[in-house]
Structure 1
Amino acid sequence: MAEKKEILRWQSILQEKVQPAFLAPWEEEAKEEEFKNVVKETLRNINTLKGSKEDKKCFLGEPTCCISNEKDINEVKKMAEMPEKSTSVKEVMKEVVHYFNGMFNWVHPKTMFNVAPPAAIPSVMGNLMGSMFNPNLVEQEYSGNIAALEIESAAMISKLIGYDPIKATGHFTFGGTGAYLFAAKLAITKCLGKESRYFGIRKDAQILVSKVGHYAVKNCSDWTGLGMNNIRSIDLLEDSSMNLNHLEQVMEECYREGKPIAMIVATMGTTDAFGVDDINGIVKICDRFVKKHKLNKKPFIYADAVIGWAWSVFNSYDFRENPMEFSKDTLNAIKECKEKIKYLKLADAVGIDFHKTGFTSYNCSMVCIKNNSDLELLCRDKDQMAYLYQFSAYTPGEYTLECSRAGNYALAAWCNLKYFGLEGYRVLLGNLIESEKALRKVIENEPSMVCVNEKDHGSVTLFRVYPKEIRNRLDCDNFANVQYKREIGEEKFKEELRKNNEYQFKLAQEIQRMLFEENGPALSFTSSFKLTSYGEPIAAIKAYPMSPYMACYEEELKEDIIKFIFKAAKNLEK
């Protein structure tokens, strides 16, 4: 008879405390039930933080913030202690829920803080599966057939925007900045040659982007070593899109200075005003520029479409029949955007955020490359990675910045793309634009308010509110509109613009206080959504609906939003 071995202390802890924290490596019903119970209890705990439908509270739990200043941050550091002994999973999950107090509830219709959507359940489940089995998209061997999901997702997006899915490629990355950075590195390498990867950047290659292009361009020029001083800003048109005449002038300036243009960025939906650049026009200018100066290399065109890509779902929509029965205003807005978005296929690379208009959780971004042959410029030598790529057909880790890329990205995106399809995404976007149109009509009828991005057609609405004293001074009904036109068009009103910019900020502060203390709406503030004709920043309050539960009825919007704005303005008068 075999002698029974004594269980050592570490083995006891392993069996009783450590192993229960992991999923079973084989089918085991009891373990599955334990896991389901943990998930159910955690969900139950966090759901108790939501307010009732009648409360209309758009944040979770109590309005507390444990890091409101530097002293608080240091207190958190001092109090942080790793426990000596293991605790139960249920205790940990119960404790962590407290940190969700004060967190925005993105799915609530009164949460309009920014282009941050609620994550749809299919993407949540995809993420969960990725977290459970931990695929790494460095190569196929480490990610199994999840690698095929990345390939398939990239192909779906390629077809959607108009690329040839066989010639194109794409991979998921860490947010829009990751996509931008990859495109910038590829553009710089194409411009300066593969040798620049070994000897460094020795020429002042230029990146051209509109004045409202995302600040990620500075991160990318900095982190690639190109330098932030090699960014050139292009003026805007009234609709916040790039001024192509100025673009052409700047390109000629670059040529005269002997500085090659590495990349031109077409911003396809700015965060604040949903400005959409004309890629078709940019491409034509590039073609003329290359032909005129007999250049061997064409500037790389990157479409920063992290927000605007989703409007590609309308490329095949029947606008004449309008099967979704959108209102005339919404249909026209969608059509106008689609007419610019449909030219994404002309860009050399496109940046896409599923965690914005794709309705997945953070983070989930993709860079899609038109010609996969371009990637040869960025591939590393296989002998540098001796323990990888022995048996895989799919080896994106040879050219991606990351060595570790979670399969969660691909799982979340693929699940949403498959679940919603063209129909679902059309309805999601259409609902948000219907809501935006209703809100703008309400603002238009309020004498003290003016919409400042009325020519833009995304879901975001930017507006300014003016104090009553201006009505008395101007002696007219539509005083906000009159005052705003003065401020943006005539430099002699610069000080009034600055004063009213400060008023917008104070109003936004008061609205935020009311958010937590009076269940007000979650609106945000931008200090400069664009510049006046004389170069001054224009501040505005921002309503960015992203919830599928968003209201499209004017009376409801008055009750949930406008009422609080007026109350905030009245509070400032005291």
Structure 2
Amino acid sequence: MDLESYFGDYRLNNTERLVELMRVLNDKVAPYFNPSKPFFKGSYEFSYYEYLRECKLNDKPAKPEEVLDYISPLFQNLPNWNNPGTMINVIPPVNLVGLASSAYSNMFNPNFVQDTFCGLLIASELEVTKYISDLAGWDWTLTHGIFTIGGLGTNLYPAKIALAKAYPEGSLKGYKDKDFFMVTSSKGHPCHQEIFGWLGLGSENCIPLPCGGDDRLIIREAEHIISSNIESGKIFVGLNINGGSTAEYTVDPIKEVADLRDRVVAKHGLKYVPHLHVDAVLGWAWLFFTSYDFEANPLKLPDASLAKIKNMTRRVSELRYADSFGADFHKTGFCPYISSLFIVKNRNDYFLLGKKSAVSLQEMQFGSYSPFETSLEYSRSASGSISALATLRSLGIEGYQTLIGNLVAMTDLLRSLLAQSNSLLVINQRTEGIATLFIIKPKNYMCLSLDEILKLPKEDIMEIRNYNIKFATFVLLKNKLNEISFTFTASRTFKVPGTSIQIGAIKAYPMSVFLNENTVRILVEEILHVKSLYEASHEVIGLVDNEDAPLDATWR
């Protein structure tokens, strides 16, 4: 067996061999790359069962080039996030400096279980934590952060900390015969409740709180619900609120929620302080604007976009009142998956997760730092923190301001141009995020405003909803045929903010750093052209609209 072909030479760092193999793979993947299209080329006639049925592991070693040739077809249909027309989720183009740093570090297989298994690379995690602490207005010498499995992890950590605060014996004795509850926003991510189920505490005991017409928590009702549950004998462990929701980028009134929590503690004489977590995995990036000169406006952002960024920044800056929050660098941080940071204001809270007593930052020395003693994972990759650090350093505060500012400005332009069509309704014209939600009006409803549409009978609402779902399916078909240069998602379940009306919507997430006024105008022209083709076709042959159709799985 030719070991050097697979593992390199132990006397070398083997970078040249790695680059050589990547070039070979790149040449083999190149035929699938599709310039100016949202997806790589490929066949959509693919059965996982049929594929796996033919798979058989080889007995003898295969040549590296043969393996790369075998792997390369799996790159078919891959989304191209750099393309300005790829708007199917909050997934960004990847900063190449961050990617190169994380890929190179992985060649040496560092394990962030403890520093002696990864050298000083683990300092990257602490450094990123310092920078984000500074942006949030926290004392970085008192905070602690850890990169984890994704947004689900950043919400699981605070739930566990909240339980430890309310019932310190729980990890040892279990939670039998205890009735815990946590609260979240009714507009929050479903994982908030799912996590409570995974912890064995019952997902229904993570109680969704009502929101107003702006999708933000109604403080008075939230306080009443929390107090009522405490008075019924339940143990209140904490709150998980929005710091930038996926569609509307809703940020709950964080300071008001913190004050609410403190009132509840005083009113009910709680011997502990329930934990306040903010699910800011998207909204955290607006912290870069806390130092922006909104008066001088050096980026020359349009007035409307500037006002949105200023308001969003004002709301996100209230993270300083929270106990913890999550930040997904693989969403609004332009890093590769997975790079999710959970950060807590008081490091003592973090050390409630394990048996080890809290260690001050000043006491931490190389050779004694062992995150596995408190972390969710024993084995952890270097990818998240290395890519985040390299990206933060390469872009800097002004670089992030430029990228986020441009996305907001181009989103506003996209919405404005779409709204010029009489047959389109942009539902979230004034929201501060970068998701754009709109509906196509069927011919019979062309003259109606959104308010008028919302007053229609349910069967009419369903007709409009189905019309839009079929349009999204039509776009999917055009993508499969490689005929268009954009793609976006559709939701069957979207409700117009402030209502319970499930009208559905087209959802466009413009995330490409290459968006500019020219590319946006070209995109809108093409979207309107495809819409006209759809309206002329009336039917999408061979595609059905029912709850079992594959649309949701593809376009969630």
Of 8, 15, 20, the residue aligned with 1:37 is 20
Indicate if the aligned counterparts of 1:351 and 1:367 stay in contact, CA closer than 8 A.
yes
Q: 2:41 aligns to what?
A: 61
1:343 has 2:324 as partner: no
Q: Deviations over 1:483-514 (max 9, x none)?
A: x31343x4x62232223222221111111111
1:510 has 2:465 as partner: no
Q: 1:276 aligns to what?
A: 251
1:50 has 2:50 as partner: no
Q: 2:180 aligns to what?
A: 205
Indicate if the aligned counterparts of 2:138 and 2:345 stay in contact, CA closer than 8 A.
yes
Closer/same/farther in 2, CA of residues 499 and 253 from structure 1, 3 Å limit = farther
Q: Where does 1:46-195 land on structure 2 (aligned, <5 Å)?
A: 46-52=29-35, 56-66=36-46, 72-195=47-170
Q: 1:24 aligns to what?
A: 9
1:367 has 2:332 as partner: no
Q: Deviations over 1:370-403 (max 9, x none)?
A: 1111133221469xxxxxx998321111111101
Of 298, 301, 309, the residue aligned with 1:326 is 301
Secondary structure, counterpart of 2:386 in structure 1:
helix
Q: CA RMSD in A?
A: 2.1
Write the distance in 2 (CA, Å) between the matches of 1:281 and 1:534: 24
Larger Rg: 1
Q: Deviations over 1:141-176 (max 9, x none)?
A: 111101111111111111111111110000000100
Letter in 1 for 2:224: Q
Tell me the CA shift for residue 62 of structure 1.
2.3
Of 495, 507, 527, the residue aligned with 1:530 is 495
Task: Give the TM-score normalised by structure 1.
Answer: 0.88
Q: Deviations over 1:410-448 (max 9, x none)?
A: 111111011011111111111111111011111221111
Closer/same/farther in 2, CA of residues 405 and 193 from structure 1, 3 Å limit = same
Q: Deviations over 1:202-230 (max 9, x none)?
A: 32221211122111113311111111110
Secondary structure, counterpart of 1:171 in structure 2:
strand
Write the distance in 1 (CA, Å) between the matches of 2:463 and 2:178: 44
Write the distance in 2 (CA, Å) between the matches of 1:337 and 1:237: 18
Closer/same/farther in 2, CA of residues 532 and 279 from structure 1, 3 Å limit = closer
Q: 2:464 aligns to what?
A: 500
How high is the sequence identity, in percent, across the aligned residues? 30
Of 429, 454, 457, the residue aligned with 1:454 is 429
Tell me the CA shift for residue 550 of structure 1.
1.6
Q: 2:533 aligns to what?
A: 567
Write the distance in 2 (CA, Å) between the matches of 1:343 and 1:124: 31
1:400 has 2:375 as partner: yes
Q: Deviations over 1:40-92 (max 9, x none)?
A: 2222333442234xxx32111224352xxxxx222222112111111111221
Tell me the CA shift for residue 520 of structure 1.
4.1
Closer/same/farther in 2, CA of residues 156 and 223 from structure 1, 3 Å limit = same
Write the distance in 2 (CA, Å) between the matches of 1:47 and 1:283: 52
Task: Give the TM-score normalised by structure 2.
Answer: 0.91
Write the distance in 1 (CA, Å) between the matches of 2:7 and 2:527: 46
Letter in 2 for 1:20: S
Secondary structure, counterpart of 1:541 in structure 2:
strand
Closer/same/farther in 2, CA of residues 573 and 424 from structure 1, 3 Å limit = same
Indicate if the aligned counterparts of 1:272 and 1:526 stay in contact, CA closer than 8 A.
no
Q: Where does 1:424-443 land on structure 2 (aligned, <5 Å)?
A: 424-443=399-418
Write the distance in 2 (CA, Å) between the matches of 1:245 and 1:46: 57
Q: Where does 1:294-309 land on structure 2 (aligned, <5 Å)?
A: 294-309=269-284
1:357 has 2:295 as partner: no
1:230 has 2:205 as partner: yes
Secondary structure, counterpart of 2:34 in structure 1:
coil
Secondary structure, counterpart of 2:184 in structure 1:
strand
Secondary structure, counterpart of 2:80 in structure 1:
coil
Letter in 2 for 1:247: A
Matched positions, count: 532
Q: Where does 1:457-476 land on structure 2 (aligned, <5 Å)?
A: 457-471=432-446, 476=447
Letter in 2 for 1:34: R
- Name stretches of at least 5 consecutive residues in structure 1 with no aligned partner: 1-12, 67-71, 383-388
Indicate if the aligned counterparts of 1:360 and 1:412 stay in contact, CA closer than 8 A.
yes
Indicate if the aligned counterparts of 2:213 and 2:499 stay in contact, CA closer than 8 A.
no
Q: 2:237 aligns to what?
A: 262
Closer/same/farther in 2, CA of residues 210 and 527 from structure 1, 3 Å limit = farther
Letter in 2 for 1:557: L
Q: Which moved more, 1:524-533 or 1:306-315?
A: 524-533
Of 216, 221, 226, the residue aligned with 1:251 is 226
Secondary structure, counterpart of 1:330 in structure 2:
helix
Write the distance in 1 (CA, Å) between the matches of 2:177 and 2:430: 43
Write the distance in 1 (CA, Å) between the matches of 2:238 and 2:45: 42
Closer/same/farther in 2, CA of residues 141 and 249 from structure 1, 3 Å limit = same
Indicate if the aligned counterparts of 2:162 and 2:237 stay in contact, CA closer than 8 A.
yes
Tell me the CA shift for residue 544 of structure 1.
0.1
Indicate if the aligned counterparts of 1:523 and 1:542 stay in contact, CA closer than 8 A.
yes
Tell me the CA shift for residue 531 of structure 1.
5.5
Closer/same/farther in 2, CA of residues 533 and 329 from structure 1, 3 Å limit = closer
Closer/same/farther in 2, CA of residues 218 and 77 from structure 1, 3 Å limit = farther
Indicate if the aligned counterparts of 1:60 and 1:105 stay in contact, CA closer than 8 A.
yes
Q: Deviations over 1:323-361 (max 9, x none)?
A: 111111111110010010001111111111111001111
Of 497, 513, 528, the residue aligned with 1:548 is 513
Closer/same/farther in 2, CA of residues 306 and 110 from structure 1, 3 Å limit = same
Secondary structure, counterpart of 1:149 in structure 2:
helix
Q: Deviations over 1:221-250 (max 9, x none)?
A: 111111111021122222322222321222
Q: Deviations over 1:267-286 (max 9, x none)?
A: 11111221121101111211
Closer/same/farther in 2, CA of residues 422 and 532 from structure 1, 3 Å limit = closer
Q: Which moved more, 1:187-196 or 1:458-467?
A: 187-196
Indicate if the aligned counterparts of 1:280 and 1:346 stay in contact, CA closer than 8 A.
yes
Q: 1:385 aligns to what?
A: none
Write the distance in 1 (CA, Å) between the matches of 2:273 and 2:356: 27
Letter in 2 for 1:36: V
Q: Which moved more, 1:523-532 or 1:453-462?
A: 523-532
Secondary structure, counterpart of 1:166 in structure 2:
coil
Secondary structure, counterpart of 2:531 in structure 1:
helix
- Name stretches of at least 5 consecutive residues in structure 2 with no aligned partner: 358-363, 541-556
Tell me the CA shift for residue 552 of structure 1.
2.7
Write the distance in 2 (CA, Å) between the matches of 1:227 and 1:464: 37
Tell me the CA shift for residue 289 of structure 1.
2.0
